[in-house]
Amino acid sequence: MMVIRPIRADDYPALYDIAVESGHGFTSLPVNEELLMRKISRSEQSFAKDVDAPGDEGYLFVLQDTQTGEICGTSALEAAVGLDDAFYHYHLGKVVHSSRSLGVYKTVDILTLCNDYTGVSELCTLFLREKRREKNNGRLLSKMRFLFLAEFAQRFSDRVIAEMRGVSNADGSSPFWQWLQEHFFNVDFPTADYLTGIGQKVFIAELMPKYPIYVSLLSKQAQAVIGHVHDKTKPALALLQSEGFSSRGYVDIFDAGPTVEARVEHIRSVRNSQRLQVQIGPVIQGQPYLVSNTKLADFRATWLELAVNEQSEHVTMPAEVAAALQVSVGDWVRVTRI
């Protein structure tokens, strides 16, 4: 059985392996022992906090195979971004150049450096190991965060974003960054990406162009990738779009990958989730559901087929699933259709 739980200190070796496997462009998991240990410690502290409003908390989860004990992936939630370090984006906007006397009217795309998402919550650090990309593992790893958002709404903003990995080559080079590097930096993309991942963002404020960039002045290769995602990220983007996430023109400052957003109450899995009381027994016929307990530090989530009666306040599940979720008869769980 695959179960989601909060990360623990003894998960470090598995987290390091996942960081290595995730490769270039996965800023939130740098291959750095100190930073990874700090992420685990911060997550443990966040789960232990008594919180009534979003602050500098980060909740990191792992997907574990209960039969083998193997850690198969990670995902995370940031309560409020940009409260400590500045949180940068480019916003893709337009300016109009017009002259009535000359009969000229031209719309031009521009990229403007901004911090517009300061204070919003973020879905991040989603990575499923390649050999485990099967069945509903990916959906579980991504969508279980919506159950957590629904259950602990006071810990998060009313708006949530997700930065999608942009286009980069196998060697880690980004067509968008190559243009920036040529004109403004002497730092390659993997290095800049790594520095951001370990929290060294001062160079962004020091070296990034302060004025809007005319998109037409970028190389054709750079223009072509603005707002597009890495091939391996397309399934994750499609999943979020099916939940109601959309882009409002914000892109990453390094690889120009899109950032998508949604208000929490508009997210499909949040809106359609139900709180039900547990009954133990066999499931005769059912549909695939995500199900989580309603505990914080002992949060658990999995997926299984359930027969959910919308008119009932109860749900029946097998004893082994209840044990994995650490719930008993009469306890509450939250469920939503996959």
Residues 6+ apart with CB under 8 A from 99: 105
Bridge-based pairing state of the strands 301-306 and 314-317:
unpaired
For residue 230, indicate whether it is catalytic.
yes
Q: How far apart are the first and last CA of the chain?
A: 17
- Backbone phi and psi for residue 87, each to the nearest 5 degrees, phi listed first: -115, 110
CB 106 within 8 A of CB 96: yes
Residues 6+ apart with CB under 8 A from 44: 6, 7, 8, 9
Tokens of 295: 């505990």
According to DSSP H, which parts of the chain are helical? 12-22, 33-48, 137-151, 175-183, 189-197, 202-207, 220-225, 234-242, 268-271, 319-324
In terms of Cα–Cα distance, which of 73, 37, 79, 74 is closest to 56? 79
Active-site residue (options: 24, 230, 266, 314): 230
What are the residue numbers of the active site?
Answer: 230
